[in-house]
Amino acid sequence: MDTNNSLYRPPAPHPYTEGTGDFDGVETNLLKHLPEELYKADVVDISTSDRTNYLVNDPDLISVIFEEKPEIFVKAEGMIELLRPLLGDHPIVTSNNRCLDQRDMIRPIGTMRTQQVNFEHIQDSIGRFSDYCEEIRNENRVIDLSLLLRRLNADIAYRMLFSNELPKDVFKEINSHARDFELRISQLIRETAEQGVAWQLPKLPQTAMYAAQQLRYLVSMLIDGNIQSNSFSHHSFLHKFLIARSPETNIPFTRKQLIDHVTTILNSQELAAAVLMWAFFVLSQCPEAKQKIREEVRKVAGHDDIHFEQLSRLRYTRNVFREILRLYPPIPHLTRRASRPLKLGKLDLQEGTQITVSPWIVHRHKQYWFNPDRFDPERYMRKDQHIIMKSFLPFGRGLRMCTGASSAILQGTLILARIVSKFDIDILNADKVEPEGVLFLEPTRPIVCKVTPV
């Protein structure tokens, strides 16, 4: 067993050690109120007066919930439901048969050829991003790291969807509406927690609904404009959405479903940017890890561009990205509901019982990980990797696992490899950074940085 405690401990609240914790009337950051017992037990009863709820950490039981019996453990009305006004009936927020049909329709999108085309889009976006970083450096500007990476990831998503570079004015509109919607939801969740109903689903205010409607309207205009100009390639996501047919009925996506999928892809880049933000933050505090990435890139690609077939050889860089996904999973908890009575391990579940699976807790569980709070990319190279991966679920798992998981790993690995090789991102307020688990996992305040060339 590895007992090295000298590894870097990235920012995270320490477990709450007094008593068993209380989720009613908490302050703004729920992560601060997670009791220590949650990080040690296989199953914990976290029921409230009006709802039976079990927190499940056991990897085998998680496999039953997500992989073996997903038709029984349907999506519950968790916080992810608050995204429905924005994402519509996308499979992320639904669990009916039509949801499964849509997943079958979009599954062919993830072909090797599509990944290769998207690889070139990512390369082009990083090239444009590098030019922007040079501008920032020449002007000696201080910038919000999250904003910097949202711009990069939004451009990647736009190129994948429409085969074109994202116009600056379109990014401003997308970013404005998406951030307005998410910030209003986050504030609503904080207020709900402070009122002593932390697990109760709040009602969205009209301001959040309006922001969602504005973004969906913008997406519909982008779809129409690109269809009219016919400038997208047959490898683009838009083209593949347009020709997709249900395996059961041969019916295409409705216009609303098309908007759901395009909006979800654009919005998912907010999560991708958040993971990269934590990655660059951690690397700024771990110069030895940064140097290992640079040495690996030089060994694999020399001073040339990285090619698609070389990505599999960037093992350390990929493991850095995996370790960031473990320490900072984009969505801190997932909820399911038992649709009928059944036995789960030693639990006798009644119909309607809620099950909570928290990637944040499972990824930092004392029984399943060595030095769980430490940044250790090399843990994935050890003999116990198969055990580790059973407790690794940053994208969910099974039937409703994020369909872009493999692409996200590819994208994150390539971005880290190229940006770390070329730039240093120096964090200026590292001592004030702390993660907050609201709807997504974000810092409690903006992370500000300077960009300098290597």
| Tally of structural domains, the chain | 1
What tens digit of pLDDT does each residue of 360-403 get? 999 999 999 999 999 999 999 876 665 677 899 998 887 666 66
The residue written with tokens 């003999």 in the block is 383
pLDDT at 27 (0 to 100) = 47
Domain-embedded: residue 24: no
Domain holding 420: CATH number? Answer: 1.10.630.10
Domain-embedded: residue 17: no
Domain-embedded: residue 52: yes
pLDDT at 109 (0 to 100) = 74
Following DSSP, what letter does each residue of 91-120 receive, concatenated? Answer: TTT--SHHHHHHHHHHGGGG-HHHHHHHHH
- The alpha carbon of residue 232 and the mean position of all alpha carbons in its chain are separated, in whole angstroms, by 27
Q: Residues 165, 128: contact at Cβ < 8 Å?
A: yes
pLDDT at 199 (0 to 100) = 52
**Pairing status of strand 435-437 against strand 441-443:** antiparallel
Neighbouring CB atoms inside 10 A of 378's CB total: 15
- This prediction's pTM: 0.92
In angstroms, rounded to a whole number, what is the distance separating the alpha carbons of residues 46 and 409?
Answer: 33
Q: Is there a binding annotation on residue 286?
A: no
pLDDT at 188 (0 to 100) = 82
pLDDT at 399 (0 to 100) = 67
Q: Which two tokens stand for residue 10?
A: 């990235």
Q: Residues 375, 7: contact at Cβ < 8 Å?
A: yes
Q: In what order do the strands lie in the sheet with 354-357?
A: 43-45, 53-56, 354-357, 334-338, 73-75
Q: Is 357 left (phi over 0), alpha (psi -120 to 50) or beta?
A: beta
In angstroms, rounded to a whole number, what is the distance separating the alpha carbons of residues 39 and 391?
Answer: 13
Domain-embedded: residue 289: yes
Long-range CB pairs of 117-124 (<8 Å, 24+ gap) are: 117/233, 117/235, 118/160, 118/407, 118/411, 119/308, 119/311, 119/410, 119/414, 121/156, 121/159, 121/160, 121/163, 122/156, 122/410, 122/411, 122/414, 122/415, 123/305, 123/306, 123/414, 123/418, 124/159, 124/165
347 is in which domain, residue-wise? 30-453
Q: Which residues of 176-208 are buried (b: 16+ CB within 10 A; e: fewer)?
A: ebbebbbebbbebbbebbeeebbbeeeebeeeb
Average pLDDT of the chain is 88
Domain-embedded: residue 261: yes
Contacts of 328 (CB under 8 A, 6+ apart): 10, 274, 275, 278, 435, 441
Domain-embedded: residue 316: yes
Domain-embedded: residue 21: no
pLDDT at 396 (0 to 100) = 82
pLDDT at 2 (0 to 100) = 47
Longest dimension (CA), the chain: 63
pLDDT at 105 (0 to 100) = 85
Q: Residues 330, 402: contact at Cβ < 8 Å?
A: no
Residues of the chain with pLDDT under 70: 1-5, 18-28, 78-80, 95-98, 110, 193-202, 383-387, 399-404
Domain-embedded: residue 10: no
Following DSSP, what letter does each residue of 349-415 receive, concatenated? Answer: EPTT-EEEE-HHHHTT-TTTSSSTTS--GGGGGSTTHHHHHHT--BTB-GGGS-TTHHHHHHHHHHH
